[in-house]
A = this chain, B = another copy of it.
Amino acid sequence: METSIQKIKKPDLATLEANPLDSAGLYPNPEKLNPKEQIDLETLGKMVGHSIVSVKQFDRKLIVELSKFAALLEASDIASCHPLDGKLIITAFFEPSTRTRTSFESAVLRLDGKIISIADGQTTGMAKGESLADIGEMFNAYGDAVVMRHTETDSVQQLMETLRLPLINAGNGSGEHPTQALADWYAILKWNPKLAGKMHPEDKIHLGILGTPGSMRAVKSFLLMSLIFEDNLKEISIVSEMADPLGEELAKELSERDININITNDINDVLADLDVIYMNSIAFLGDSYKSLDSRFKLHKDSKLKKKAVVLHPLARLDELSPSLDETNHNLYFTQAHGAVFIRQALLISVLNRFDHLPENFLQNK
């Protein structure tokens, strides 16, 4: 073959440990997250048979154990154990999303589970007026778990009136997106495992969040999950062009806590002090978008702290410049790459398939 055609080479995870950024552009070796500790099966076991609809179902212990489990899955090849063999997951994307749908489908198929795929709500009975309660009854007959994304916030509650299978909420209107928050914090814990425990005051981090938590579900879930680590946060800065980015419920939640919250409409006000910056495509408004200016953008020459890292759930427009992709600030590729594994950890736990893992897998031997 013509040698001018690019030869594909898969990254060798074994060489990751030495290099902060490996050849695939991924951040630290996931195994650093879990040196030689056992994973607490009792903690993970609490998820068996449960639906995952809100970040409020999680505590720090559970997030950390799930992340350790995800790290083990990321660094191992457990496909030969067929962990989800015989399990049928319905990906019901009434609100379409190729990225999230294919992430879940990859997570399931890699573990030998099976998928029934609904990629668009337009062609369903729902479009004709069928109730979500009836759709829940239908799903009961077809599969073992449901992953749903829907344009309506109360879709989760409606489906769960009749659904007798675990539901993984992949985004409900302006509600939540809990597995995205898990993917976000899995990446943060890889970057700085000390956040899992008790940190010295001088190590605590200043977290910046670009977006409108009150109405953007991924941002809301991320903020809520960050509060679970609040004792390790020095401050949270919200960067939004909206007058009231939090909304009533979140404002109340935050006022009941000790954490310093600071709201600004210009990222450059706080950028020099941020350790973790959560970026977002705030320009998307349904099917159209508006153009935002430099107060809401990051690029290579932005005044980032030397060791600051950037997250972004992706897809991105121009708020996060590709000029940052090759820098050490790029945690968003690690974040995207790890999302499949945190979802695998979640599904294996919810569907109680710990017994399908290799012997001593969770003991990390």
Taking Cβ atoms with an 8 Å cutoff, the residues of A that contact B are 1-2, 5-11, 24, 46-47, 49-51, 53, 56-57, 62, 79, 86, 88, 90, 96-99, 102-103, 105-106, 109-110, 114, 116-120, 123-126, 128-131, 133-134, 137-138, 140-143, 160, 163-166, 284, 287, 289, 314-317, 322, 333, 336-337, 339-340
The residue among A53, A109, A315, A340 with the most chain B CB atoms within 10 A of its own CB is A315
Q: Are B56 and A2 in contact (CB under 8 A)?
A: yes
Q: Are A7 and B50 in contact (CB under 8 A)?
A: yes
A337 → B minimal CB distance (Å) = 5
The 5 closest A-B pairs by CB, nearest first: A96-B123, A125-B315, A130-B315, A106-B142, A98-B124
In whole angstroms, how far apart are the Cα atoms of A24 and B96 in the complex?
Answer: 30
A106-B141, A336-B137 known; A128-B56 Cβ under 8 A: no
A357 → B minimal CB distance (Å) = 17
- B24, B90, B126: the one within 8 Å of A102 (CB): B90
In whole angstroms, how far apart are the Cα atoms of A314 and B136 in the complex?
Answer: 12
Contacts A8-B164, A109-B116, A134-B314 known; list 13 others, CB within 8 Å: A1-B46, A1-B50, A2-B57, A8-B50, A8-B166, A24-B140, A88-B110, A97-B125, A98-B123, A98-B124, A99-B138, A106-B116, A137-B333
Interface CB pairs A-B, < 8 A, 17: A5-B57, A6-B160, A24-B164, A79-B86, A88-B110, A99-B125, A102-B142, A105-B142, A106-B143, A118-B119, A128-B287, A129-B317, A134-B316, A138-B314, A141-B337, A141-B340, A142-B340
Chain B hits for A336, CB < 8 A = 137-138, 141
In whole angstroms, how far apart are the Cα atoms of A129 and B143 in the complex?
Answer: 34
Q: Are A109 and B102 in contact (CB under 8 A)?
A: no
A24-B164, A123-B120, A339-B141 known; A284-B128 Cβ under 8 A: yes
Q: Are A140 and B109 in contact (CB under 8 A)?
A: no
Q: Are B102 and A125 in contact (CB under 8 A)?
A: no
- Nearest B residue to A110 by beta-carbon distance? B88
A97-B125, A137-B333, A142-B106 known; A8-B49 Cβ under 8 A: yes
Chain B hits for A315, CB < 8 A = 125, 128-130, 134
